[in-house]
Amino acid sequence: MLDGLKMLDDLSDEQKSSLEIFCQSRMLSAGEELFAEWDEANAMYFLKTGSLSVDKMIDGEQFHLNEVHAEEVIWEMALFGWNHKRMAGATALEDSQLITILSFSVEQLTQQHPELLDRIKGLIEIRNIQNKSKGIS
C-alpha cells in the first residue's frame, strides 16, 4: 500500500510494514469532497496520486487557498493540533488516491511504535520546511 510513496522512502521496510497496519487506502473521484471546513479532524492523509483543492469560507465567500499534490501529507496538523478541527475544506481536483491513518490508529501507533510516529513527524517537518523555502505554505 505504501509502495511508490516516495516521501516514505527513508523508512525501513520494517517501519513501512508496521505503519501499513494502521493505514487504509481511499479513492476520491474528481469533485468529491475529502472533508469540509470545521469538520472534526479524525484522520491524516498521504496523497499518493492526484491533487486536491484547499478552500476556505471568509465572510461568506469561498476562497481558494492552495492545491495539494501527490507526495504531500494532508491536514496532519489539525490532528496533532489543539482544536482538532479542519480549518479549510479539501476537494479532489482529479481522481486521487490517498493513504488514510485514522485518529484512533495514530493513538495506537503512538503507543506501539512511538519511534515510527516520531520519524513520520520528522518527515512532515522536513516537508514543511522545504515548502516554506519554496514559498508554499
Domain boundaries, the chain: 6-131
Q: How far is CA 67 from the centre of its chain?
A: 13
For residue 75, give the 3-state DSSP assignment.
coil
Is domain 6-131 annotated with CATH 3.10.20.740? no
Tell me the whole-structure pTM to 2 decimals.
0.75
Which residues does 56 contact at the CB level (< 8 Å), separation at least 6?
37, 62, 63, 65, 87, 88, 89
pLDDT tier for residue 25 given thresholds of 50, 70 and 90: very high
Range list of H helices, 37-113: 76-80, 103-112
Are 84 and 96 in contact by the 8 Å Cβ rule? The answer is no
Checking if the pLDDT of 120 tops 50, the result is: yes
